[in-house]
Amino acid sequence: MRGLPASAALALFALAVTTGCGPYPRDSDDLSELAAKDAMRVGASDDPPWVRVAPDGSVSGPEAELVQRFAKAHGYRLEWKPGGHDALMLDLERARLHAVIGGHDPDSPWKPEVGWSRPLGLRASPDGPMPERRIALPPGQSAWHYAFDQYLVDHEGAQ
């Protein structure tokens, strides 16, 4: 009895390989699906003028508005989690949040621990300087990170 022709064996191999793989990029913790199903959870650390957290927990400022536009463009309900920067970054590192805005220092010890968006094209005022601002994103969430950065490029003027 003869074996399968080479083309049939190759086709079976390709089928076996591709059916075991999901779409790429993908998230290790299904954050994209969770944002769509439940809510996009974003940590906010008070960092005027970029992020303002009011005593009632409401969040405003240019970075908050950018996140609101992203959530609206994707049909996500947005849930803010105001708090201290390090506590929020720990939650982000553990994929309990979709992003953290505000409070990021250029020499942050969190730089190697989490992901970072492309630089934001934001100014504190129309004629103000444009410092390099980024949004912290959870590590290992490739689809989420790609979607966020693609939105920044397509809609917010990021490079």
What CATH number is attached to the domain comprising 63?
Answer: 3.40.190.10
Q: Give the number of domains in the chain.
A: 1
In a domain, 144, yes or no: yes
Q: What is the pLDDT of residues 126-142, one digit of tens each?
A: 776 667 889 999 998 88
In a domain, 80, yes or no: yes
Quick one: pLDDT band at residue 30, thresholds 50, 70, 90?
confident
User: What is the pLDDT, as a whole number, of residue 75?
Assistant: 96
Residue pair 151/121 in contact by the 8 Å Cβ criterion = no
Q: Which domain holds residue 87?
A: 27-155
User: What is the pLDDT, as a whole number, of residue 16?
Assistant: 45
Please determine, for residue 17, whether its predicted confidence score (pLDDT) is greater than 50: no
Alpha helix positions (H), 57-128: 62-74, 85-93
Compute the average pLDDT of residues 38-64: 96
Please determine, for residue 14, whether its predicted confidence score (pLDDT) is greater than 80: no
Quick one: pLDDT band at residue 113, thresholds 50, 70, 90?
very high
In a domain, 113, yes or no: yes
Q: What's the pTM?
A: 0.81
- Phi, then psi, of 57 in degrees rounded to 5: 90, -5
User: What is the pLDDT, as a whole number, of residue 34?
Assistant: 85
In a domain, 13, yes or no: no
